[in-house]
Amino acid sequence: MRTLLILIFCGCGAASLGAQWFVGSELATLRYGGSAHDTSGTHTASDGRPGGGVAVSLRVGRSWSRWAAALRISYSNTGFAVAGSGVSVTDKTTGRLFEVSPLVSAKVGGIGPSGAVWVEVGPALHLWDFDGEYRKRIGATAALVYEWPVVRKLTGAIRLEGMLSPSWFDAADVPPEFERHATWRYGVGLGLRYRLSGG
C-alpha cells in the first residue's frame, strides 16, 4: 500500500500534458457478505457480518488522457447483521466504518460521443468500529466506472464496485462454533467530480 501511495503522489506531482486535478463526492449503497459463519448448525441466524447501508465518500485525484490516480475517504454506518433462514436483523448502534483507498484507474472505452468507461483498482484500509473497538483490515477493491460530462467542469459518475478483505471479526468476537471467513461487499455509487486547473 505504501508503494502504491508513493507512485500515485509522484505521478500527481509530475507535470504532464493534459493532466487535471479533480475533487469529487459520492453516495453509494453497499451490501456485505462473509465475515463469520456457524458451522454447528445450532443457530437459526448462522451468519454474522457488517450490515451494509449507505456510504458517503470524498475523493481528490489527478487524471491524464487515459490514466487517473485518486485518494478516496469514505464513511458509513454499516451496523452489525445476523442472518439465516431467510431472516436478517441489523443492529445500527455499532459497526461504523472509516475507509481510506488510494486508487489507480485506466480508461478502457467510451459510450457515446463523450462518455468514458474506467477500470479502477487499489487497496483499502478499513477501520471498523465494533462495540467501541476498531478492527483494522487491509483489503482490495475494484470498480467499473462510467463517467460523463454534466457541465463544463463537472462530470457525473456511476460506480459498480467490489471489495474483498480478511474477516472483520477478531477471534474473540465470535463464539467457538463460528468460523471466520473473508469479508466481501458489492455496491453501486453515484458521484460528481469537479475539474480543477491543470498542471
Indicate whether 160 belongs to any domain: yes
Residue 41 lies inside a defined structural domain of this protein: yes
Does residue 134 lie in a domain region?
yes
| Residue 98: domain span | 2-8+18-198
Q: 13-48 pLDDT, tens per residue?
A: 444 445 789 999 999 999 999 999 888 776 666 888
* Residue 77 cell numbers, joined: 454506518
Helix (H) or strand (E) holding 41: none
Other CB atoms within a 10 A radius of the CB of residue 62 amount to 22
User: Where are the alpha helices (H) located in the chain, listed in sequence order?
Assistant: 2-13
User: For the whole prediction, is pTM greater than 0.85?
Assistant: no
Residues of the chain below pLDDT 70: 1-18, 42-45, 198-199
Q: How far apart are CA 193 and CA 150, in angstroms?
A: 10
> Could you give the C-alpha distances from 106 to 24, 58, 67, 69, 98, in angstroms and in order?
18, 20, 5, 9, 26
Residue 56 counted as domain residue: yes
Q: How many domains does the chain have?
A: 1
Residue 9: strand, helix, or coil: helix
In a domain, 178, yes or no: yes
Let me know if residue 168 belongs to a domain: yes
Closest CA to 35 of 178, 188, 186: 178
pLDDT of residue 111: 82
The answer to whether position 13 is within a domain reads no
**Does some domain include residue 127?**
yes
CATH number at residue 136: 2.40.160.20
What Cα–Cα distance (Å) separates residue 177 from each residue in 34, 40, 48? 15, 6, 12
Separation of alpha carbons 173 and 99, rounded Å? 21
